[in-house]
Amino acid sequence: MILWHGFLATAYAWREIAPALARAGFAVLIPDMRGYGDSDKPPGNDGYDARSLAEECRALVATIGFGNGKPLIHAAHDMGALPALIWSADHPQEIAGLLYIEAPVMLGPVLRQVFSYTPQAMAQGSMWWWILPLAPGVPERLIVGNERAFLTWFYEGNDVVNHAAFSGEVIDEYLRSFAGQEGVLGSMGIYRAAFVSIDQTEPLMTAKISVPVLALGGEKGLGGKVGEMVAMVAEDVVARTLAGCGHFMTEERPEFVVEQILDFSARVAARSGLGR
């Protein structure tokens, strides 16, 4: 099983979930994506699009022989779901199933609606962090030196229910690799490459993926919109919304995510004969 983290996070986002999956008998791979954690953070846009991130992880899997060539379950949160989806489209024989957790789907019509200049969109800032990385020189001027304030803005927001999940210790661990110009710009590479990822994803609207997908949304996050978006690019989708949970589901409600992964994996295994 491969676990993908999202924006501002690292493999540490799965700290409560990975041990439970290991106890259940799963081998688990949790990479820091390019630009995050202890992985390289090269400048520029190259290598940060969904397909490049997917291929980078595929190369890692091949190099270490993870999974012994068997199809893998992918559980992906937030921006980590982008490469997991493209991997499912490009190499469906390698994917047993995909959990798509609290993430958008990179489709132009969907994103244009999200960023529309309306009172409803502007009330939440219209996801300004998608746009900020595109302004040359601005992220490093505004964020470097203010990294803690930047991070805590997200974790103290209205789309978080379980604020206790983000203790000072958790923030410190994320700051360890985010602080400084390299960390700040690296984390935003996936947004700088967003238009490339859109071009890679939009063909799936007419050639949907066949891999089974479980779409999970938090009531105070994207909620049911996750399933609606995923259904635009996938044939086999089951969607669930968790009440009393915000965007950061893997950290706010890890026990629910573990339950969903185990249930989904069992259903996929029963249908395909997949073992662990």
| Confidence at residue 130, expressed as pLDDT on a 0 to 100 scale | 93
Band (pLDDT 50/70/90 cuts) for residue 35 is very high
**Residue that is written with structure tokens 């397909």 in the block:** 51
**In this structure, what CATH number is given to the domain that contains residue 70?**
3.40.50.1820
Pairwise pLDDT comparison (271 vs 192), residue with the higher score: 192
Q: Any idea what DSSP says for residue 127?
A: S
| Confidence at residue 115, expressed as pLDDT on a 0 to 100 scale | 76
Band (pLDDT 50/70/90 cuts) for residue 247 is very high
Tell me which residue of 139, 137, 136 sits closest to 128, measured CA to CA: 139
Q: Does the structure show a pLDDT above 70 at 83? A: yes
Output the average pLDDT for the chain.
95
Q: For residue range 137-171, what is the model confidence (pLDDT) as tens digits? A: 999 999 999 999 999 999 998 889 999 999 999 99
Lowest mean per-residue pLDDT among 13-22, 92-101, 106-115, 213-222 = 106-115
Band (pLDDT 50/70/90 cuts) for residue 273 is low
128 class by beta-carbon count within 10 Å (0-12 exposed, 13-18 middle, 19+ buried): exposed
Alpha carbon distance, N-terminus to C-terminus of the chain:
9
> What's the domain range around 240?
2-272
Tell me which residue of 255, 233, 258 sits closest to 244, measured CA to CA: 255
Question: What pTM value is reported for the model?
Answer: 0.96
Domain count, the chain: 1
| Confidence at residue 216, expressed as pLDDT on a 0 to 100 scale | 99
